[in-house]
Copies of this chain bind each other. A is one copy, B any other.
Amino acid sequence: METEQRGRPARVKRLPRAVRERQILDAATAVFSQRGYHAASMDEVAEVAAISKPMVYAYLGSKEELFAACIKREATRLTESVGTVVDPNLAPEEQLWRGVLAFFTFVGEHRDSWNVLHRQVTSEGHPFAQQIAEGRKRVIALIGALLSQAAQAQGMPDYFVPETKPIAAALVGAGESLADWWLDHPDETAKAMALRLMNLVWLGFGTLVQGRTWHPPAGPADATPTPA
């Protein structure tokens, strides 16, 4: 069990602190996702978490601190979901495919998390816009490094390597926008969404209209053919 943080009493202690915090963060993420940051109330968070409001404050602080804790946890979850499947020993194409599939799987399973991370805090006036923008830049840098490795593995000339950075930015934007599109088409599977992104960014539309489609590299993962 974790040690108590400075000065915050946890009087009713039937559950370990980590469990209580998880309950509160789960409730807060759902409430922030449904209401938006400004309209969300601590009363509703407490109600959804089935914990008294003073306990919510005692464990995770003010609404602003609670929102910061949600963002931190959801961003870490998303990064870990993607990061753990991307094995640097695999071919770049397979790494990208696994990462893209893990991204859509995460969004599909944690729609509230994605909503909070992506929709809630992108506008400039938002208190956490800067934090999210920096996280987004780190993700773009990571993907840029992966693409740069792919380019070098293919013996691409040096002038091409810096090009992988804006390409990574475009890829991230394409993924975000497809995740938004998915909200209006909830019957689609994570795999169909991931195949769409790979088809576009790996093959390109000019190749697709020639009748070619992208398939997951042969390997331990399965290999469903078309994104339809």
Stretch at the interface among A8-16, A66-74, A106-114, A146-154: A146-154
Contacts of A206 in B (CB 8 A): 93, 202-204, 214
Q: How far is the CA of A52 from the CA of B200 in the complex (A)?
A: 52
* Number of copies of this protein chain within its complex: 2
Q: Say whether A98 faces chain B, with CB atoms less than 8 Å apart.
A: no
Q: Which of A93, A121, A156, A167 has the most CB of B within 10 A?
A: A167
A196-228 contacts to B, CB under 8 A, are: 196-197, 199-211, 214, 226-228
Q: In the docked arrangement, what's the CA distance between A124 and B33, Å?
A: 9
Known: A125-B39, A205-B147, A209-B154. A180 touches B174 (CB 8 A): no
Q: Quick check: A170 and B154 within 8 Å, CB to CB?
A: no
Report how far A38 CA is from B123 CA in the complex, Å.
11
CB distance B196 to A167 under 8 Å? Answer: yes
Measured between alpha carbons, how far is A150 from B176 in the docked complex, in Å?
24
Interface membership of A83, Cβ < 8 A: no
Q: Does A99 contact B (CB under 8 A)?
A: no
